[in-house]
Structure 1
Amino acid sequence: MRASKIGFNIDAAIYGFGIGAGFAIIENLYYVYVLGVETNLTVFVIRGFGTAIMHGGTMTLFAIIAKTMTDRKIWGKWGGFIPGFFTAAVFHSFYNHFFFNPLILTLLNVVTIPIILMLVFKRSENFLQNWLGVGFDTDQDLLDMVNQGKVGDTKVGEYLQSIKKRFSGEVVFDMICLLRIHLELSMRAKGVLMMREAGMDVEPDEDLKDKFNELNYLEKNVGKTGMMALSPFLHQSSQDLWQLHMLGKEVKN
């Protein structure tokens, strides 16, 4: 953060989990060195996996909370790190006090930390959407920007530049193509539904099947991390996903 290398919460999450995973490796190696053959291998595996989840998750929580607090200038320059620090400390302390056996602690970490991270990501994503949404009243505005090659002059372009360091040039290009096709299909789905509500019988266009095939291909190329980075632009509500699902189902039929 001090070097201004963390532009958005997705960057904070990547750095946080990477640092946490590094801590976990060091701690697990230390346990192996100190305990040696005195501990059962199964306990090592269970405890080691739980440690990796705990360190990765708590550092990710710390990084996201600290980034959000410092961006909003809450509690001054350094005070924004306090809530994230205490959150990470509570999880760490709970795990290391052995209130339950290692298997139960590992299961608790596997279940609770991803849920908490999901909630924090959702809040952060809403904040990012509000920031990115300035100047884009409709999907058509954003689609026009993409088609005209003017994305670089917008906050969307600024965001894509910030994550460019995390992905290869080919993946970033695929992300822009995926965004364009997703917007086109989303608008097409809404148009079809509106026309049918008006009593008009609309047949799917012949090129829709190719677009859905290309969308699926690009999603695989971009990967889960890339899709997470793109999520502020993509319509992922249940209604939006249902519209795309219905349109895709008609194309397959």
Structure 2
Amino acid sequence: MTLAVSIVIALIVPVIFLFLLRRLDLHKTAKFKKNIATLGCGALAYLLAVQVNRAVANSGLLTWTEIIRYMAPFGEEIFKSLILIRLVNRADFNYIVDGALYGFGAGIGFAVFENVEYVRGTEIERALFLAVARVFSTNLVHAAGSGLIGAALAFHRGMKDKRLGAYAILGGYAIAIVFHGVFNTMVNAGTFLAVAIGYGMIGAALIWYFIRRGMDEQREWVGEKLGMQDRVTKEETRAVTGIGKMMETLIAPFEERFGGEKVPLVRELLYTQAEMGIKRKLLEATPSPARKKEVEDIIQGLYETMESLRKRIGVYPMMFIREVYLAQSVNAWSVLNARIAESGAGQKGGGVWDLAGRRIEESKAGEENP
């Protein structure tokens, strides 16, 4: 029973980490099916790494300690990244959020298979402890390493200067390999469990940081590129760029007025518009004419999806969506004007303008009466 519980923990908890992290993807650009694929490819990367590590150990070229500390971090990060290279080079790939989440998924896929091997190979009395310890340390290190590489590959995808992007890729691989190698060395040397867990948490925090930064940049892209060329109004653009507050400012009143049936359509509409804006920005960093054509075809498909969703939502609900965000803009200016009036900083006198006027008069008086 203990062994079964340990294996379940080793398999399920790391995957839960991935799905919790996916909640940070407010634009929903990282596709669920692709994240599942990265889990599977991460598992295949583990099987490949095991064969390579064993072959090197059997050949006598390196000791097992040397493999753990030096070779394994290099080889395992390379193997985990193969699926990421494939995904990043697809026309439907977006940006850093996708790269970090797909990379995290590949690392988790690698880690859960490794977990099972370790748990099954230890004494039953230690199985539960080992499963929990690995979930909060080794698993997060694996996920963080490939997540960093995924983010670096994605950064290259979004850069106009591909030489600078290439440096980012090299840096991503180097940091991931060193990060992994330091962890393996510490664990192999018998470091305290708390240190190993803390190290894993640092890795998870790094991926969280990159996803948040990626989301901020994507919001800017959407605000910059989404507009009338895609027949997206300013109010709709405001809704998409403020998608994190969508539940409290739009969805709740929308559902109250029109019911819950159309709420999923509204969500899908905003996600579709967000991806259109991101894709338009990526066009600028796509040098290949053939790849540009692929991205443009995707944008056209997103446009058609958007138009279909608008029709399914209906005219009056769409007017409501636009009015909510238009009203927010108007209210913001009203509040600003009211505060200016209260402070006496307007044209009617008072505030900073009257103060400036008094200072000028005082200065003139001083010059006339030295």
TM value normalised by structure 2: 0.40
CA gap of 1:25–1:183, structure 2 versus 1, over 3 A, is: same
Does 1:89 pair with 2:177?
yes
Q: How far does residue 66 in structure 1 lie from its aligned partner after superposition?
A: 1.6
Partner of 1:142 in structure 2?
234
Deviation of residue 195 (structure 1)? 3.3
Distance in structure 1 (CA, Å) of the matches to 2:173 and 2:152: 9
Distance 1:114 1:180 in 2: 38
Q: C-alpha separation between the residues in 1 aligned to 2:272 and 2:129?
A: 55
What's the counterpart of residue 149 of structure 2?
Answer: 62
Gaps of 5+ in 1: 201-253
Structure having the higher Rg: 2
> Which residue is equivalent to 2:367?
none
Aligned to 1:215: none
From 195, 198, 201, give the equivalent of 1:104. 195
Deviation at 1:192, TM superposition (A): 3.9
Asked if 1:195 is matched to 2:337, the reply is yes
Match of 1:11 among 69, 85, 98: 98
Alignment-mate amino acid for residue 224 of structure 2: V
Contact 1:146 1:180 survives alignment (8 Å): no
Segments of 4+ moved more than 4 angstroms: 76-80, 144-147, 150-156, 176-182
| Structure-2 residue corresponding to 1:131 | 221
User: Partner of 2:224: helix, strand, or coil?
Assistant: coil
- Note if contact 1:19-1:59 (Cα within 8 Å) is conserved in structure 2: yes
Asked if the contact 1:13/1:60 (under 8 Å) is kept, the reply is yes
Q: Is 25-34 or 74-83 further displaced after alignment?
A: 74-83
What residue identity is the alignment partner of 1:74? K
d(CA) in 1 for partners of 2:207 and 2:277?
A: 25
Aligned equivalent of 2:276: 157
**Secondary structure at 1:44 match in 2:** helix
Q: Aligned partners of 2:177, 2:169: CA distance in 1, in Å?
A: 12
Superimposed CA distance per residue, residues 45-79 of structure 1 (whole angstroms, 9 cap, x where no aligned partner)? 11233222222222222101221024324338866
Distance change (3 Å), C-alpha of 1:64 and 1:52? same
Match of 1:244 in 2: none
Contact 1:70/1:76 (<8 A) preserved: no
Check conservation: 2:103, 2:146, Cα contact below 8 A: yes
Unaligned runs of 5+ in 2: 1-87, 240-268, 280-297, 303-307, 343-370
Distance 1:56 1:142, change over 3 A: farther
Q: Structure 2: how far apart are the matches of 1:127 and 1:46? A: 35
Q: Which amino acid aligns with 2:145?
A: T
Matched, 1:30 2:149: no
What amino acid maps onto 1:124 in structure 2? G
CA-based RMSD = 4.4
Give the Cα–Cα distance (whole angstroms) in 2 for the partners of residues 109 and 31 of structure 1. 18
Please give the residue correspondences for 1:175-194 in structure 2 after superposition, counting only pairs within 5 Å.
Answer: 183-184=325-326, 186-194=328-336
Identity %: 17
Structure ranking higher in helix proportion: 2
Question: 1:116 aligned to 2:206?
Answer: yes
Q: What is the CA deviation profile of residues 165-196 of structure 1, one whole-angstrom value per residue up to 9, with x for unaligned ones?
A: xxxx99xx8xx999858744642552342132
- In 2, the alpha carbon distance for the partners of 1:157 and 1:52 equals 34
The letter of the residue matching 2:193 is P
Distance in 1 (CA, whole Å) between partners of 2:203 and 2:271 is: 36
1:103, distance to aligned residue in structure 2 (A):
2.8
Q: Secondary structure at the match of 1:134?
A: helix
1:50 aligns with 2:142: no
Distance 2:319 2:144 in 1: 32
Q: Distance in 1 between matches of 2:214 and 2:126?
A: 42
